[in-house]
């Protein structure tokens, strides 16, 4: 083999001198360190964001739980109010029913007492009329004669008055 047969190395495979190599290696190490710092800062930022997101999510869950608890308490209060309202309505209906019974009973009693009162008045009147008729039947003959005499006196007085007027 001859020297001509060797193909030259590509530029990237050529050896660099020691100082340049140290300089490049130092720059690469610095760049890598900077990237590590940036990556660490990025991770810390992302972890902080994640922590804050978890805190917000936890707070939101707590608020939702509290809201559900408040809604359940409100439903319970509403149910208690509805039961109390139903109880009061039942009492009111019982009161109205008893008032209806009292009004109907009073109306019936008033009607019956009115009917009996009118009947009693009629009976008293009939009794008085019958008593008057009976007393008229039992008039003595002397009373009948006196009635006839009074009638005769009235007739004579009327004739005398008529004669004076002529």
Collapsing DSSP to helix, strand or coil, 94 comes out as helix
The larger pLDDT score, comparing residue 131 to residue 76, is at: 76
Average pLDDT, the chain: 87
Distance CA 157, CA 150 (A): 11
> Is residue 9 predicted with pLDDT exceeding 80?
no
Q: pLDDT tens digit string along 10-30? A: 666 666 677 777 888 899 999
pLDDT at site 101: 93
pLDDT of residue 20: 78
Query: Residue 133: is its pLDDT beyond 60?
Result: yes
| Domain parsing of the chain, residue ranges | 17-165
| Residue 10 pLDDT | 67
Cα–Cα distance for residue pair 120/130, rounded to 1 Å: 15
CA distance 134 to 157: 32
Q: Which pTM value belongs to this model?
A: 0.37
Measure Cα distances from 137 to 14, 81, 123 in Å. Answer: 174, 82, 21
Arithmetic mean of pLDDT, 138-153 = 82
């Amino acid at each position: 083999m001859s020297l001509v047969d060797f193909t030259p190395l590509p530029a990237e495979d050529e050896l660099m001198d020691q100082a340049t190599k140290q300089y490049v290696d130092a720059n690469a190490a610095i760049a890598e360190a900077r990237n590590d710092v940036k990556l660490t800062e990025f991770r810390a930022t992302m972890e902080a964001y994640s922590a804050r997101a978890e805190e917000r999510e936890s707070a939101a869950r707590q608020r939702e739980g509290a809201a559900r608890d408040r809604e359940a308490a409100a439903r319970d209060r509403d149910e208690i109010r509805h039961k109390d309202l139903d109880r009061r309505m039942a009492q009111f209906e019982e009161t109205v029913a008893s008032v209806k019974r009292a009004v109907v009973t009073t109306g019936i009693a008033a009607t019956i007492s009115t009917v009996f009162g009118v009947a009693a008045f009629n009976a008293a009147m009939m009794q008085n009329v019958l008593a008057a008729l009976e007393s008229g039947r039992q008039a003595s003959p002397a009373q009948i004669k006196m009635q006839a005499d009074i009638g005769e006196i009235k007739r004579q007085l009327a004739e005398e008055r008529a004669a004076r007027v002529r």
